[in-house]
Structure 1
Amino acid sequence: MSQRSQLQAAGDRAITVPDRPTPPHGVTGARAAWLVAGVLLVALNLRPAIVAVSPLLDTIRATTGLSGTAAGLLTTLPVACFGLFAPFAPKLARKVGMEAGLAGVLVLLLAGVLVRLADSAVALFAGTFLIGVAIAVGNVLLPGLIKRDFPHRGGPMTGLYSMALFAGAALAAGGTVPLGHATGLGWRATLALWAVLVGVGVLAWLPQLAGGRATRPSAASAAAAAHPVRGLWREALAWQVALFMGLQSLNYYTATAWLPAVFGAHGMSDGQAGWMLSFSSLLGIAGALFGPVLAGRIRRQGMVAVCAGVLCAAGIGGMAVAPVGGAYLWMVLLGLGQGLAISLSLAYLVLRAPDARHAAQLSSMAQCVGYLLAAVGPLVLGALHDATHDWTVALVVLGALLVPQTVVGVLAGRRRHVGRHDPGAG
């Protein structure tokens, strides 16, 4: 066998960090059960630290004197970090391993949550920055780990992963204000309470570090590093996956940042507005659970993107016309649509990749492009509101962006794999 063939064979078996060989059928038995629990608890922690800010945003502005622009930056900063730091995640994982990398994610996330306890606007933004960096790495590593350890159960595992993301968001959106009222704590300490959940995640992930996986790169890892994935940035399919990731993320994070403010402008209390956001996230769990399963079983996966776009459009349209009168209906439609879209975008990272090595690189590219695009959303919607002193125009623009989202979602749904320009893809 030639040297190139040997590198190619090793690279195709390799993942971002193949610390210990994984059987072709993936992990099984007790190890699989512990891994599933660990993945779900890591995923559960990837949203509360940023979503918890939205229900408290008016209180934060009142006590710190932040301007509308600064408040918009506070909600946008983590999303921008998702895009800026996603490309570094595969390199980090090649050095320390996926398991150690995800442990580092949780530790950095815990640090960011606790830094925000300091009575300073600088600490607030610094902690938010650390949170954004941690989640950026976790966002990239988890799909690659799923592709590696659950190669024939990618759809159901992605569904569970997506469900955990929405569950974490729902807990933070609906629980932050009641937690603050119940404990009598200020908003800083209330935000810091989510460190408890991160601590549980750290404990749940420890068995993955103690499972005998070496931190030193293996021979397959060295071969993969010598022959990295190339050419994704020149592939239309990779761009379609990335743009779908970006547009659905723009919709989700913009709605998460400003929906409580929309409800508040029409007379809802902070607690009620936070509950509506939480209710939407609870419905998103259903969409997130079934989206990847459907995508893995039907031939025309783009139809899931169409369903997601229609549901979101109906929810946003209703918010523009009668935000309070039909609030529950609009949140049902929006939650289901966002759940389908988010889980489908994550499923595409697995389904459009021929192996775990490509899944990690596609995840890195899609989240770099996607989240940088998504970071613009809250700022633009806030600027439109400031210019018009009304939420209607902003919601119409948000709804209009569902058209290109649906188009690229349909294109990304074709049964193809990335890697045609990669010499190591075969």
Structure 2
Amino acid sequence: MAQVRTFRLSNTTFLLLGVLLISISLRSPITGVGPVLDLIREQLKLSATQAGMLTTLPLLAFAFFSPLASKLARKSGLEHALMLSIILVLTGIIIRSLGSSITLFIGTVFIGGGIAIANVLLPSLMKRDFPNKVATITSAYVLIMGIGSALSASLAIPMTHLAERLTITFIPNWAFALGSIIIFPIIAVLVWLPQLRNHTPTTSDVSELDSHSNLWFSTQAWQISLFLALNSFLMYIFVSWLPTILVDTGYSHEQAGVIHGLLQLFTAVPAIVLLPLMSKIKDKRLLSLSLTIMVFISIIGLILAPSLAVLWAMMFGFGCGGGFILALALISIRTSNAHQAATLSGMAQCIGYLLAATGPTIMGLIHEQMRSWTLPLVICAVINIIWCISSMFATKNELLASPKSQMSSYSMTDNSRPLDHII
């Protein structure tokens, strides 16, 4: 009996380690691009609009592949589908690092597809295997995701210098830097291999997602979706362009990379601070207002006092990261049951990714025309005001309207429990 218990403990630990190793690859392949974007543009002769597409493509892939993830899991099993997601990320990193403009964009699409599948399926796996510790494990995996993002962004420029010292000539220095994170998915593949013995489907709330729900005609659902979409819109603009903005204001590439990494790290901090408090805060309007104002101050600060960019990056990261967690919480708290929550989640993420995909390209195009980052940042500040206003509607203390067949007897207090389902 003792041996059986030991095996189970070991298997659970191995599963948790696999989840954390997958999570470290869910942002790092994207956030490492920003610090070396100027090098990529210079060597491949890319316009600002084309450079913005390097962040846009993964978001479009998220919107395209996310609805396919649950179907893939039903057909091949949850464990096999997650393995495919890691392999797609791994393959994308290899292709992207070959050094040409064509392979750069093709590899980026592969990476986006792999990340999208894992984004959809990991919450289902955590709900199935860690039903009593979802919030805790989610905090850990969001934190690891943030650490991976910070490492990728901070080390990108130092890795280009390492390539120079090693006289690596078969690929460009920026390609070597982007390829250096390949160690993360390689280790994840090796650790995940034992899970392929299992062949289990997703949980019913994910696999039975009803994309034709009447929520698409609900004003309340659109308010929540807009809140998440504007959050993602601002976040991915800064993920794409912050290093370039900082370099243009006088920072070195190394300093810009470190500050960019700090922003990424602080997006994970709210996962530790807010998750334990979320169910205790009854009225979310003050919280949402605080987070959105924090981001607004950081954008204005970057315009007026770029010398304090470290402070603005931390504020922006915390505000946007906290806004993302709050948006996911609202999806759970304001719905009547798990099926409705899953439907709203699919709607909000689809809209969010599609809107976010336009941000980097639009801002890159405006910068290319104006030869300045002032107007793009002012536009971001105006959008932030809209986000601030939308948060007042999205965080209303009421359930979404729903047909009688979908309504349950949950109260707002009872609905704090489905938070584990989403995040």
Scaled by the length of structure 2, the TM-score of the pair is 0.83
Verify: 1:134 aligned to 2:119, yes or no.
no
Partner of 2:415: none
CA contact (8 A) 1:45 1:168 kept: yes
Q: 1:301 aligns with which of 276, 284, 301?
A: 284
For the residues of structure 2 that align with 1:61 and 1:354, how far apart are their CA atoms?
48
Residue 290 of structure 1 corresponds to which residue in structure 2? 273
Identity of aligned residues (%): 36
Identify the match of residue 117 of structure 1 among 97, 102, 122.
Answer: 97
The farther-off stretch of 116-125 and 272-281 is: 116-125
The equivalent of 2:40 in structure 1 is 60
Higher relative contact order (CA 8 A, sep 6+): 1
Q: How does 1:333-352 map to 2 (within 5 A)?
A: 333-352=315-334
Deviations 1:356-384 (A, max 9, x none): 55554433322211100011111121222
Say which is worse superposed, 344-353 or 328-337, in terms of deviation: 344-353
Structure 2 counterparts to residues 18-417 of structure 1, below 5 A: 32-184=12-164, 185=168, 186-210=173-197, 213-215=198-200, 230-323=213-306, 325-352=307-334, 357-414=339-396
- Rounded to whole Å, the distance in 2 between the matches of 1:356 and 1:299 is 20
Residue aligned with 1:193, SS: helix
The CA deviation at 1:47 is 0.7
Taking structure 1 as reference, are residues 226 and 391 closer, same or farther at Cα in structure 2, changes over 3 Å only?
A: closer
How far the C-alpha of 1:393 sits from its partner, in A, is 1.6
Does the CA contact (< 8 Å) of 1:231 and 1:419 recur in 2? no
Residues 249-288 of structure 1: CA deviation (Å, up to 9, x unaligned): 1111101111111111112111111111111222222223
- Count of residues in Structure 1 that have an aligned counterpart in Structure 2: 394
Contact 2:209 2:339 in 1 (8 A): no
The answer to whether the 8 Å contact 1:291/1:339 transfers is no
- Residues in 2 aligned to 1:29 and 1:361: alpha-carbon distance in whole angstroms: 34
8 Å CA contact 1:159–1:291 kept in 2: the answer is no
Cα RMSD (Å) of the superposition?
2.9
In structure 2, the gaps of 5 or more residues are 1-7, 409-423
Q: What is the distance in 1 between the residues matched to 2:396 and 2:310?
A: 34
63 and 108 in structure 1: CA distance in 2 versus 1, 3 angstrom threshold: same
Quote the offset at 1:354 in angstroms: 5.7
**Residue pair 2:25, 2:148 contacting (<8 A) in 1 also:** yes
Deviation at 1:355, TM superposition (A): 5.8
Q: For residue 326 of structure 1, what is the amino acid of its counterpart?
A: L
User: What CA distance in whole angstroms lies between the structure 2 residues aligned with 1:201 and 1:195?
Assistant: 10
- Contact kept, 8 Å, 1:241 with 1:366, in 2: the verdict is yes
Residue type of the alignment partner of 1:335: G
Report if aligned partners of 1:54, 1:258 keep a CA contact under 8 Å in 2: yes
What secondary structure, in the 3-state scheme, does the structure 2 residue paired with 1:401 have? helix
Distance in structure 2 (CA, Å) of the matches to 1:140 and 1:369: 15
Query: 1:142 Cα shift?
Result: 2.3
What's the secondary structure of 1:70's corresponding residue? helix
The unaligned stretches of length 5 or more in structure 1 are: 1-27
Q: Contact (CA 8 Å) 1:147, 1:355: kept in 2 or not?
A: no
- Whether the 8 Å CA contact 2:50–2:361 is kept in 1: the answer is no
Q: CA deviation at 1:119?
A: 3.8
Q: Is the 8 A contact 1:158 1:346 kept in 2?
A: no
Q: Deviations over 1:205-225 (max 9, x none)?
A: 334333xx335x69x969x75
